[in-house]
Structure 1
């Protein structure tokens, strides 16, 4: 007869599956809200290149019979990112497990680790919204949003696009005042769909208060290194078919603890920096 309350290999696998499903489901929901369809599995170390467009426009006032001067449009490399692993490890002590029980103790600390991972990834995700090269202003939040939407329509007028707005929660809720809206959540972020003319609005502190940023979902790409394959074998990782994250749970006898290892790698990046519109709110009134 098995010892009562003993932790078996099935318990370890169950903990890893739960962690993996929480992460993958949350990030997949966010990418769906952003309407990101280009998910590109790549090898770690791959170079991700982000471009900006520059236009040198000649004077269009040309006299009859004169040679028309050339205008020039160039696509220049703005930034290169390298796809790299993000590695996380934490331990739950024997004392914590004894006090709360195996499941609660591990689940609680796993949840804290997951939130920390999400925080790191969100920062990486949305740092790019500040780098948009198309600038505009509006006297209020609503006018800044409208101006960004107008610039976006010009930038992508030849494409049928899904529009995405990134806004600071303080600006957004100050604008709403007493108006009630229903938000959804994914990956620790709040978002709305089909509001203020945008297909999706993402509320994030990664956007500086006093600014909003907008782009087309077709401008967004998600590159990641799949955790399937040799890594799974080497570290006994649990992952799903996407391979967005690999997780392993292991008893550690040298210090009587229980270890969680998580490996992931992903970069959300724009194809064109000029395809991101950054609008500044030039006045303080909320309406």
Structure 2
């Protein structure tokens, strides 16, 4: 009996067939981008942001400042009505662009914990880090709010923060659709004491609605203690660069995105050279305040309730004639603080909360022009130019 030669290639799996492994990876990518998108969308809903605004990669992000005075409406019959002039100036704050991130889970981690556990641990950590990148930039802008103030108590600071942003929007001929407030976690619990408050979480931000006179209060350790920040909800905008841009695909860089949101692109592939499972994410996301002077930044405390801190400094003759080089051994005590200096024949008295706005700004390293024997008084002040710490040295 003659045997027939059978071509086993006829029964081999066709090239590029989607198998179990590809389905598992694809499902993991879809789960990542979907959960990320839903998480961010929940925060946008809380903030009253109805949609993300698409931006081209590399677009400039500009904040606005509105100036103007409402003229008197007490006009006699037949008299000309005075014109109230308002102007809006723009300032470039940053650039929004696609940013690229990569993380990996090793073969050893999979062997030790199992595929499901190792993958879940790594994906969750990666997602958390990406969320923090977005919120950190947002907090940084909130801390630049130009409606500054200083109040003796925390409760008064909350009330004045809300009042200031409402007043500002009214002067801009805009109606605040609601107010969002950001406060420090410890400050809230000092205020409520043993009382229970129910916090919800969206995109890494804890919040409570209808609290302290605000529509929504965000509670975070990213906000310094004894600081209250507020802005109208309709001052909040969200921008994104589309990670599913067709130009990327043409270049062979195809990322899985959520068809409903499109906030982040995610891709997984094996790296045999290093025996790791590589994860790649691209995104260009920004939570943004349109008007910088629509953000209130109110600090708490006064000379009667807090003590002036102490700085430590050393001085030496500078390289230039008639200057001194001053070296501070201590660092800034608070986020957003800065240095001010005053040169005088005697030490300048400083008290906590003292206004040093008109003192000379100092970057903490430049040589200071001074006559030998005169005093250099250095103050660390908060963003409202209130003294929080000081030191006095004699020039050499």
TM-score bracket, normalised by the shorter chain, equals 0.7 to 0.9
Q: Give the corresponding residue for 1:217.
A: 233
**Correspondences of 1:126-165 after superposition (within 5 Å):** 126-157=139-170, 158-165=174-181
* Inter-partner Cα distance in structure 2 for 1:271 and 1:70: 26
> Whole-Å Cα distance in 2 between the matches of residues 177 and 72 of structure 1?
48
Distance 1:41 1:69 in 2: 40
User: TM-score when scaled to structure 2?
Assistant: 0.64
1:238 equivalent to 2:251? Answer no
Name the structure 1 match of 2:355. none
What secondary structure sits across from 1:88 in the alignment? strand
Per-residue deviation, residues 65-101 of structure 1 (Å, max 9, x unmatched): xxx9998643222333211122111111111112222
Which residue does 2:224 correspond to in 1?
A: 208
For residues 220 and 226 of structure 1, the distance between their equivalents in structure 2, rounded to whole angstroms, comes to 20
Write the mapping of 1:262-281 to structure 2, written as runs, cut at 5 A: 262-281=281-300
SS at match of 1:207: coil
Q: Which whole-Å CA distance do the structure 1 matches of 2:52 and 2:204 have between them? A: 20
**Partners of 1:229 and 1:273 in 2: CA distance:** 31
TM-score normalised to structure 1 length: 0.87
> 2:125 aligned with 1:112, yes or no?
yes
- Is 1:180 paired with 2:162? no
Q: What 5-or-longer segments of structure 1 have no aligned partner?
A: 1-5, 59-67
Unmatched tracts of structure 2, length 5 or more: 1-18, 72-80, 307-396
In terms of Rg, which structure is larger?
Answer: 2
Equivalenced residues, count? 274
1:153 Cα deviation after fit? 2.3
Q: Provide the residue aligned with 1:258 in structure 2.
A: 277
- How far apart, in 1, do the equivalents of 2:201 and 2:133 lie? 17
Match of 1:24 in 2: 37
Contact map agreement 1:127 1:206 (CA 8 A) in 2: no
More RCO (CA 8 Å, sep 6+): 1
Counting helix residues as a fraction of each chain, which structure ranks higher? 1
Which residue of structure 2 aligns with residue 196 of structure 1? 212
Describe the SS at the equivalent of 1:235.
coil
Determine the structure 2 residue equivalent to 1:62.
none
The residue number in structure 2 matching 1:248 is: 267
User: What is the rounded CA distance, in whole Å, between the counterparts of 2:55 and 2:166 in structure 1?
Assistant: 32
1:100 corresponds in structure 2 to 113
Q: Distance in 1 between matches of 2:38 and 2:124?
A: 14
